[in-house]
Amino acid sequence: MMNLRPCFLTRFLRDRRGVAAIEAAIYLPALLAILLGFFDLYHFLMITQRIERTAASTADLVARNPGGTSGLTNNNSLTNTTDIATFFAAAQQLAYPITDLTSAGRVIITYVTNVSGTPTIQWQCFGPYKTVNTNLSSQIGSTGGTPTLPTGLPMGVGDGTIAVEVYYAFNPFSISKGFVSSSLSSPTTIYKRFFYRPRLLGVIAMTPAPPC
Protein backbone atom coordinates (compact mmCIF):
# COMPACT_ATOMS: atom_id res chain seq x y z
CA MET A 1 0.00 0.00 0.00
CA MET A 2 1.37 3.37 -1.02
CA ASN A 3 2.37 5.72 1.83
CA LEU A 4 0.61 9.06 1.23
CA ARG A 5 2.00 10.76 4.31
CA PRO A 6 5.06 12.41 2.63
CA CYS A 7 2.88 13.79 -0.20
CA PHE A 8 0.31 15.10 2.27
CA LEU A 9 2.96 16.83 4.32
CA THR A 10 4.53 18.33 1.25
CA ARG A 11 1.21 19.75 0.04
CA PHE A 12 0.44 21.02 3.54
CA LEU A 13 3.77 22.82 3.84
CA ARG A 14 3.38 24.37 0.40
CA ASP A 15 -0.22 25.45 0.93
CA ARG A 16 -0.30 29.24 1.44
CA ARG A 17 -4.05 29.57 1.92
CA GLY A 18 -4.98 31.35 5.13
CA VAL A 19 -1.53 32.89 5.62
CA ALA A 20 -2.89 36.44 5.25
CA ALA A 21 -5.57 35.79 7.85
CA ILE A 22 -3.01 34.43 10.31
CA GLU A 23 -0.69 37.39 9.74
CA ALA A 24 -3.58 39.81 10.19
CA ALA A 25 -4.55 38.14 13.46
CA ILE A 26 -0.97 38.57 14.68
CA TYR A 27 -0.24 42.11 13.50
CA LEU A 28 -3.65 43.81 13.55
CA PRO A 29 -3.93 44.19 17.36
CA ALA A 30 -0.47 45.75 17.50
CA LEU A 31 -1.27 48.12 14.64
CA LEU A 32 -4.55 49.14 16.27
CA ALA A 33 -2.77 49.81 19.55
CA ILE A 34 -0.22 52.02 17.79
CA LEU A 35 -2.92 53.93 15.89
CA LEU A 36 -4.93 54.41 19.05
CA GLY A 37 -1.82 55.64 20.83
CA PHE A 38 -1.14 58.23 18.12
CA PHE A 39 -4.78 59.34 18.21
CA ASP A 40 -4.62 59.75 21.98
CA LEU A 41 -1.33 61.64 21.72
CA TYR A 42 -2.92 64.02 19.21
CA HIS A 43 -5.91 64.41 21.53
CA PHE A 44 -3.60 65.13 24.47
CA LEU A 45 -1.71 67.82 22.51
CA MET A 46 -4.98 69.39 21.34
CA ILE A 47 -6.37 69.47 24.90
CA THR A 48 -3.09 70.95 26.20
CA GLN A 49 -3.24 73.70 23.59
CA ARG A 50 -6.88 74.43 24.47
CA ILE A 51 -6.10 74.65 28.21
CA GLU A 52 -3.20 76.99 27.47
CA ARG A 53 -5.42 79.21 25.33
CA THR A 54 -8.12 79.20 28.02
CA ALA A 55 -5.66 80.43 30.64
CA ALA A 56 -4.25 83.12 28.35
CA SER A 57 -7.62 84.42 27.12
CA THR A 58 -9.20 84.44 30.59
CA ALA A 59 -6.26 86.35 32.04
CA ASP A 60 -6.51 88.84 29.20
CA LEU A 61 -10.25 89.35 29.83
CA VAL A 62 -9.74 90.01 33.54
CA ALA A 63 -6.79 92.33 32.86
CA ARG A 64 -8.98 94.49 30.63
CA ASN A 65 -11.13 95.21 33.69
CA PRO A 66 -14.27 96.60 32.08
CA GLY A 67 -15.36 97.85 35.50
CA GLY A 68 -13.23 100.96 35.14
CA THR A 69 -12.37 102.72 38.39
CA SER A 70 -14.94 100.66 40.34
CA GLY A 71 -13.02 97.43 39.76
CA LEU A 72 -14.66 94.01 39.88
CA THR A 73 -17.63 92.76 41.83
CA ASN A 74 -18.04 89.48 43.66
CA ASN A 75 -21.79 88.83 43.58
CA ASN A 76 -21.87 85.60 41.55
CA SER A 77 -23.79 87.40 38.83
CA LEU A 78 -23.63 86.33 35.19
CA THR A 79 -25.59 89.39 34.03
CA ASN A 80 -22.99 91.89 35.26
CA THR A 81 -19.96 91.94 32.96
CA THR A 82 -17.76 93.26 35.77
CA ASP A 83 -18.59 90.36 38.10
CA ILE A 84 -15.85 87.78 38.62
CA ALA A 85 -18.37 85.01 37.89
CA THR A 86 -18.56 86.09 34.25
CA PHE A 87 -14.86 85.35 33.79
CA PHE A 88 -15.24 81.81 35.13
CA ALA A 89 -18.18 81.33 32.76
CA ALA A 90 -16.03 82.68 29.92
CA ALA A 91 -13.28 80.20 30.79
CA GLN A 92 -15.72 77.31 30.36
CA GLN A 93 -16.73 78.63 26.93
CA LEU A 94 -13.12 79.21 25.90
CA ALA A 95 -12.24 75.62 26.85
CA TYR A 96 -14.70 74.16 24.30
CA PRO A 97 -14.69 71.37 23.03
CA ILE A 98 -13.71 70.47 26.60
CA THR A 99 -17.11 70.23 28.28
CA ASP A 100 -16.16 68.83 31.69
CA LEU A 101 -13.82 71.55 32.92
CA THR A 102 -15.88 72.14 36.09
CA SER A 103 -15.76 68.45 37.03
CA ALA A 104 -12.33 67.43 35.72
CA GLY A 105 -10.40 70.67 36.17
CA ARG A 106 -10.03 73.91 38.06
CA VAL A 107 -9.66 77.61 37.22
CA ILE A 108 -7.98 79.96 39.70
CA ILE A 109 -7.82 83.74 39.25
CA THR A 110 -5.23 85.57 41.36
CA TYR A 111 -4.41 89.26 41.66
CA VAL A 112 -0.92 90.26 42.81
CA THR A 113 0.08 93.81 43.80
CA ASN A 114 3.26 95.49 44.94
CA VAL A 115 2.22 98.32 47.22
CA SER A 116 5.12 98.61 49.64
CA GLY A 117 7.98 96.99 47.75
CA THR A 118 7.02 93.36 48.35
CA PRO A 119 4.63 91.60 45.94
CA THR A 120 1.56 90.29 47.78
CA ILE A 121 -1.49 88.30 46.71
CA GLN A 122 -4.33 90.76 47.23
CA TRP A 123 -7.16 88.40 46.30
CA GLN A 124 -7.75 84.98 44.82
CA CYS A 125 -10.93 83.43 43.44
CA PHE A 126 -11.96 79.86 42.63
CA GLY A 127 -15.50 80.69 41.49
CA PRO A 128 -17.61 77.57 40.89
CA TYR A 129 -14.49 75.45 41.54
CA LYS A 130 -14.39 76.24 45.28
CA THR A 131 -15.57 72.75 46.24
CA VAL A 132 -14.35 70.89 43.14
CA ASN A 133 -10.90 69.29 42.84
CA THR A 134 -9.70 71.03 46.00
CA ASN A 135 -6.47 69.04 45.79
CA LEU A 136 -5.52 71.27 42.85
CA SER A 137 -4.30 74.33 44.73
CA SER A 138 -2.69 77.46 43.35
CA GLN A 139 1.00 77.15 42.54
CA ILE A 140 1.32 80.91 42.95
CA GLY A 141 0.29 81.09 46.61
CA SER A 142 -2.70 82.11 48.73
CA THR A 143 -4.35 85.38 49.66
CA GLY A 144 -2.14 87.62 51.81
CA GLY A 145 1.00 85.63 51.07
CA THR A 146 4.07 86.28 48.95
CA PRO A 147 3.46 84.95 45.44
CA THR A 148 5.71 82.59 43.53
CA LEU A 149 6.20 84.50 40.29
CA PRO A 150 8.06 83.59 37.11
CA THR A 151 11.71 84.55 37.05
CA GLY A 152 12.15 87.86 35.29
CA LEU A 153 8.58 89.13 35.79
CA PRO A 154 9.05 92.81 36.79
CA MET A 155 6.95 93.91 39.77
CA GLY A 156 7.84 97.47 40.72
CA VAL A 157 6.14 99.45 43.45
CA GLY A 158 2.59 100.24 42.39
CA ASP A 159 2.47 97.43 39.83
CA GLY A 160 -0.16 94.73 39.67
CA THR A 161 -0.62 91.55 37.67
CA ILE A 162 -3.46 89.13 36.98
CA ALA A 163 -2.64 85.43 37.00
CA VAL A 164 -4.96 82.70 35.75
CA GLU A 165 -4.19 79.04 36.40
CA VAL A 166 -6.06 76.25 34.68
CA TYR A 167 -5.91 72.57 35.62
CA TYR A 168 -7.41 69.69 33.67
CA ALA A 169 -7.26 65.95 34.31
CA PHE A 170 -6.70 64.22 30.97
CA ASN A 171 -7.52 60.51 31.09
CA PRO A 172 -6.14 58.61 28.08
CA PHE A 173 -7.38 55.28 26.84
CA SER A 174 -6.04 52.44 28.98
CA ILE A 175 -4.21 50.85 26.06
CA SER A 176 -2.34 54.07 25.21
CA LYS A 177 -1.63 55.57 28.62
CA GLY A 178 2.04 54.84 28.17
CA PHE A 179 2.19 57.29 25.28
CA VAL A 180 1.09 60.33 27.33
CA SER A 181 1.51 59.51 31.01
CA SER A 182 4.30 58.29 33.22
CA SER A 183 1.72 56.86 35.62
CA LEU A 184 -0.46 54.16 34.15
CA SER A 185 -2.90 54.18 37.05
CA SER A 186 -3.99 57.83 37.13
CA PRO A 187 -4.93 60.63 34.68
CA THR A 188 -2.37 63.15 33.46
CA THR A 189 -2.91 66.57 35.05
CA ILE A 190 -2.41 69.40 32.57
CA TYR A 191 -1.48 72.73 34.16
CA LYS A 192 -1.17 76.07 32.37
CA ARG A 193 -0.97 79.63 33.68
CA PHE A 194 -0.67 83.14 32.26
CA PHE A 195 0.12 86.56 33.69
CA TYR A 196 -1.25 89.86 32.38
CA ARG A 197 -0.93 93.40 33.65
CA PRO A 198 -4.18 95.36 34.17
CA ARG A 199 -4.99 97.47 31.12
CA LEU A 200 -6.85 100.38 32.77
CA LEU A 201 -6.02 100.33 36.47
CA GLY A 202 -2.87 99.86 38.49
CA VAL A 203 -4.89 98.24 41.26
CA ILE A 204 -8.00 96.10 40.66
CA ALA A 205 -10.25 96.19 43.68
CA MET A 206 -13.04 93.69 44.31
CA THR A 207 -16.33 94.40 46.10
CA PRO A 208 -17.29 92.64 48.27
CA ALA A 209 -13.91 91.27 49.17
CA PRO A 210 -13.16 87.56 48.54
CA PRO A 211 -13.45 84.67 49.26
CA CYS A 212 -15.14 83.97 45.98
Question: Cα–Cα distance between 56 and 150 in angstroms, integer?
Answer: 15
For residue 1, the model assigns a pLDDT of: 47
Question: Cα–Cα distance between 21 and 87 in angstroms, integer?
Answer: 57
For residue 188, which amino acid is it? Answer: T
The structural domains of the chain, with segments of one domain joined by +, span: 19-207
Determine whether 57 is exposed, middle or buried from the number of CB atoms within 10 Å of its CB (0-12, 13-18, 19+): middle
For residue 204, the model assigns a pLDDT of: 79
Give residues with Cβ within 8 angstroms of 137, minimum separation 6.
Answer: none
Which residues in the chain show pLDDT less than 50?
1-2, 4, 180-181, 183-185
Q: C-alpha 6: how far from its chain's center? A: 67
Query: Is this model's pTM higher than 0.85 or not?
Result: no
For residue 13, the model assigns a pLDDT of: 56
For residue 149, the model assigns a pLDDT of: 92
For residue 163, the model assigns a pLDDT of: 95
Cβ neighbours around 73 below 10 Å, total: 20
For residue 31, the model assigns a pLDDT of: 77
